[in-house]
Structure formats: structure tokens, C-alpha cells
Amino acid sequence: MEYHNPVLLKETVDGLNINPDGIYVDVTFGGGGHSREIMSRLGEKGRLIAFDQDEDALANTIEDSRFLLIHENFRNIKRFLRFHGIKKVDGILADLGVSSHQFDVAERGFSTRFEADLDMRMSKKGDLSAYHVVNQYAEQDLKRVFYDYGELKNAAALASAIVDFRSESKIKSSETLKLVLARFLPAHKSNKILAQIYQAIRIEVNQEMDVLKEFLEQSLEVLNEGGRLSVISYHSLEDRLVKRFVKNGMFEGEPEKDFFGNFEVPFKTIEKLIVPSAAEIAINNRARSAKLRVAEKK
């Protein structure tokens, strides 16, 4: 099963500052590119635990006694590490968003390029699909999804158009959804706006913001002192959460001050924001919006 090149491969794994005898976690296994790079830097005593909720990723497993692939959502990282007898780890890598493979398989419904049923589930076991969101959400909830997750200023109009159309006929496919929203898609900006609409629905279907928050909070609990967190995000909503958490240890507000008036924060930033080179973007288009942040637990 073909998966594309991993984004910021060297930079992301370098950020983990690998100890050959350490325990590491790749919470977004996918095609296994980042995992294989981590494995290449581990010694005989090192271990790598990977997570992926997508059934398709299981075909890429690494046959090595030091490797374990857990078929679960990484929002459950702490619970499943404990289940396997692991309380603390030395580094965690996350490559957020949708994999190139998921975008390229038409029937998964992630890409604006293909005619497909409305699905967008990262795990086929998920109860909520894009069909459900588009056809059953109340108008106010659709508006919230488009505004919060697509950052679309005309969210109310988009939601209203969908509700009007579905009162006569269900919206079952990506092509029908595009037709319903055609008047909001001027030729010079149609791809960008469609991408924002799809992003909004996908984030809602997969609860991506809630999952990311839960994962970041648990990463703090399972990392050893001096352990590293290396996270690639692809849109401003994700990056904002990661940036705030590694800076303050929280998503909103300011951290408490100690006796001397210094902020008490759990991480120190290792690198300033890292973005792909022009050369990498030329080879791998998915890299164009990638942002890498690396932090170390104090």
C-alpha cells in the first residue's frame, strides 16, 4: 500500500534527541516513515511504540521485536501505554492531520479531487461520518463547524444553503455537496474555499481538536524529565494549540507564577518554528503547510 514521503523526516526525528536505549512513541504511524527513521537510531534495548487508528496503516507494520503497533486513537496514549506496562517514555512524535494515503484513496472522501460518498472517518469504526454532519446537524451546529474549524466568514450562509437543499433531498456525495455550495465557490478561489469546507467537516467528524488537546495533556504525563515532544501541524488551528501548550502548559489563560514572579511552565522550547525547505516542498507538496515545534519536558 503506497504512502508518500514523511514530512520533515530528519528534523522531526532529530528533535527527539534519540537515546539508543530509550522508549519512544510515534502516535501517527501511517506509512511508517518516521517510525523507521526512529528505529534506525535505536539500539538493542531501545523500544518504539506506534499508534494508528486507521486500519489501512496496519499493513505497514515493522517486523522487529523492539516495535509495537497499537491500533487505537492516540487520544488514549496514556491508557494503552500503561496496558503494555509503560509508564514513562523519552520522546513522542506526532505528524497531525490526514495522511497522503487517506487523501489519495477516493472512497475515503477526504479529497476535493474525487467523487465519493461523504465519509471522512480516519477510523472506519467511527460512528460519526461526513454524511451525518452534513445531513443531520442543526443549522446552528453546521454554522459553528464552518466558522470554528474552516475559519469561513460566510459560515451562516453555507449552513443555510445545506439545510435548504437537504429538506428536499439528502446530500450523499462530494459532488452533490459541491453543487449545493457552488454559488459560494468563485472560480479563482474555489479550491481554497472547498479545502476549508472539507477541513471543517473532517475536523468535526474526527473530533480532531479534542483529540489533540487530550493527547498533549497526556504527553506531559507520560514523558520523562528531559523527554522531547516533536509535533508537525498543518493548519493554524492545530498549530495554535500546540504552540500554546508547549509555551504555557495550557490552552487558554496564563500559567501561575512562582514565589519569584517567574511563570511555571512544564516545557522549554528547543527550536523555533521549523518549516520545510523549498526543495522538500518541490518534492512533496503535502509539506507546503507543515510546521514543526519541538519542546523538552522540564
Using one digit for the tens of pLDDT, what is the confidence trace for 225-254? 999 999 999 999 999 999 999 998 889 877
Provide the 10 A C-beta neighbour count for residue 156: 15
The domain containing residue 240 runs over which residues?
9-100+209-297
Closest C-alpha to 234, from 110, 71, 138: 110
Report residue 106 as a C-alpha cell.
477516493
Domain's final residue, options 174, 191, 206: 206
Same structural domain, 24 and 95 = yes
In a domain, 124, yes or no: no
In a domain, 254, yes or no: yes
Q: What is the DSSP letter of 81?
A: H
What is the distance, to the nearest Å, from the Cα of residue 77 to the centroid of all Cα atoms in its chain?
Answer: 14
In a domain, 141, yes or no: yes
- Sheet order of strands, 67-70 included: 67-70, 47-51, 23-26, 89-95, 223-233, 291-297, 267-269
Same structural domain, 140 and 220 = no
Same structural domain, 173 and 219 = no
CA gap 134, 11 in Å, rounded: 38
Same structural domain, 175 and 233 = no
Report the SS3 class of residue 121: coil
In a domain, 239, yes or no: yes
Domain's final residue, options 148, 177, 206: 206
The tally of domains found in the chain comes to: 2
* CATH code: domain of residue 63: 3.40.50.150
What is the distance, to the nearest Å, from the Cα of residue 202 to the centroid of all Cα atoms in its chain?
Answer: 11
- Residue in the structure block whose three cell numbers are 534506525: 40
Same structural domain, 255 and 175 = no
What is the distance, to the nearest Å, from the Cα of residue 218 to the centroid of all Cα atoms in its chain?
Answer: 16
In a domain, 133, yes or no: yes
Same structural domain, 90 and 216 = yes
Q: Identify the pLDDT of residue 115.
A: 67
Q: Are 37 and 7 in contact (CB under 8 A)?
A: no
Q: Identify the pLDDT of residue 141.
A: 98
Q: Identify the pLDDT of residue 164.
A: 97
**Total-model pTM:** 0.90
In order along its 298 residues, the chain shows pLDDT tens digits of 555 679 999 999 999 999 999 999 999 998 999 999 999 999 999 999 999 988 888 888 999 999 999 999 999 999 999 999 999 999 999 999 765 444 444 444 445 455 678 888 988 788 899 999 999 999 999 999 999 999 999 999 999 999 999 999 999 998 899 999 999 999 889 889 998 999 999 999 999 999 999 999 999 999 999 999 999 999 999 999 999 999 988 898 777 767 676 777 899 999 889 999 999 999 888 889 999 999 999 9
CA gap 57, 28 in Å, rounded: 9
Same structural domain, 215 and 72 = yes
Same structural domain, 155 and 278 = no
Same structural domain, 54 and 192 = no
Domain's final residue, options 206, 233, 266: 206
Same structural domain, 229 and 160 = no
- Integer CA distances (angstroms), 33 to 7, 30, 95, 258, 272, in order: 9, 8, 11, 42, 24
Q: Identify the pLDDT of residue 276.
A: 96
pLDDT in tens, 11-22: 999 999 999 999
* CATH code: domain of residue 189: 1.10.150.170
* Amino acid sitting at position 45: K
Report residue 141 as a C-alpha cell.
451546529
